[in-house]
């Protein structure tokens, strides 16, 4: 097994799986942990993507088709991103629709908000404090309890999204098993001579003038 393939597999498994699982443990009270994990995870994800792009171009049999190979690789990445983003948005929307009414409704009811005002309260949460104060039967303690419950509900919803990423990460991890060995391609040999474009243009112009 080549060293480059091992590094890519480690990055994919650790960053995509472990990082997402750990972020799923974050709550509204662990902002520093969430920011740190996302920052570190984003750095290593970028590193992994750079290695993937290098692997695509290095293993292209016809080096004259580097642009096409890189373009196809990028298109595949965008396709996977579109699919995963759609799945994440659907999961998040469904979880919010379930978590917010349950958590917020229970919290504000326990603090004395009339049942007839719960729907208005939940709708006003996305508007701001001004909208909350205009709801019949609301009080500062109800607003505080409802806001806290909304944050918890949102965190729970995003937790499900982070856990959903494990499925895509597992597929990516399995895909790394088919990585080719490109260590022998990491040499000083170049596919074409670079840096003499001016001389080529001058020769072409000279030949055109003589003819």
CB-CB neighbours of 32 under 10 Å: 9
Instruction: Compute the distance between CA of residue 14 and CA of residue 11 in angstroms, rounded to an integer.
Output: 5
Instruction: Compute the distance between CA of residue 182 and CA of residue 54 in angstroms, rounded to an integer.
Output: 10
Q: Could you give the percent of the chain with pLDDT greater than 90?
A: 26
Most confident of 2-11, 104-113, 173-182, 196-205: 104-113
Residue 73 burial by Cβ neighbours in a 10 Å radius (0-12, 13-18, 19+):
middle
**Segment 85-95, tens digit of pLDDT:** 999 999 999 99
User: Mean pLDDT score of the chain, rounded to an integer?
Assistant: 79
Q: What pLDDT, on the 0 to 100 scale, is given for residue 59?
A: 78
Q: What pLDDT, on the 0 to 100 scale, is given for residue 203?
A: 60
Instruction: Compute the distance between CA of residue 77 and CA of residue 81 in angstroms, rounded to an integer.
Output: 6
For residues 91 and 161, is the Cβ–Cβ distance under 8 A?
A: yes
Q: What pLDDT, on the 0 to 100 scale, is given for residue 209?
A: 59
Q: What pLDDT, on the 0 to 100 scale, is given for residue 104?
A: 93
**Segment 200-209, tens digit of pLDDT:** 555 655 665 5
Average pLDDT, integer, range 149-159 = 93
Q: Which long-range contacts (CB under 8 A, 24 or more apart) does 63-72 make?
A: 63/191, 63/192, 64/191
Q: What pLDDT, on the 0 to 100 scale, is given for residue 174?
A: 79
Q: What pLDDT, on the 0 to 100 scale, is given for residue 165?
A: 84
Could you tell me which residue, 127 or 156, shows the higher pLDDT?
156
Most confident of 50-64, 69-83, 94-108: 94-108
Q: What pLDDT, on the 0 to 100 scale, is given for residue 49?
A: 76
């Amino acid at each position: 097994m080549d060293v480059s393939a091992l590094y890519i597999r480690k990055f994919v498994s650790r960053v995509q799986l472990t990082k997402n699982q750990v972020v799923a443990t974050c709550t509204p009270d662990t902002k520093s942990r969430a920011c740190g994990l996302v920052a570190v995870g984003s750095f290593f994800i970028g590193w992994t993507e750079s290695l993937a792009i290098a692997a695509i171009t290095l293993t292209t049999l016809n080096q004259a088709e580097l642009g096409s190979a890189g373009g196809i690789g990028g298109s595949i990445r965008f396709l996977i991103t579109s699919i995963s983003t759609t799945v994440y948005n659907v999961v998040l929307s469904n979880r919010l629709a379930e978590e917010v009414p349950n958590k917020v409704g229970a919290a504000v009811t326990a603090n004395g908000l009339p049942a007839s005002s719960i729907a208005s309260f939940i709708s006003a949460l996305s508007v701001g404090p001004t909208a909350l104060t205009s709801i019949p039967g609301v009080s500062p303690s109800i607003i505080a309890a409802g806001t806290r419950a909304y944050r918890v509900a949102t965190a729970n919803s995003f937790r499900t999204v982070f856990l959903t990423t494990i499925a895509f990460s597992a597929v990516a991890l399995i895909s790394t098993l088919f990585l080719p060995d490109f260590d022998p391609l990491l040499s000083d040999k170049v596919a074409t001579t670079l840096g003499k474009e001016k001389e080529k243009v001058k020769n072409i112009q000279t030949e055109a003038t003589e003819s």
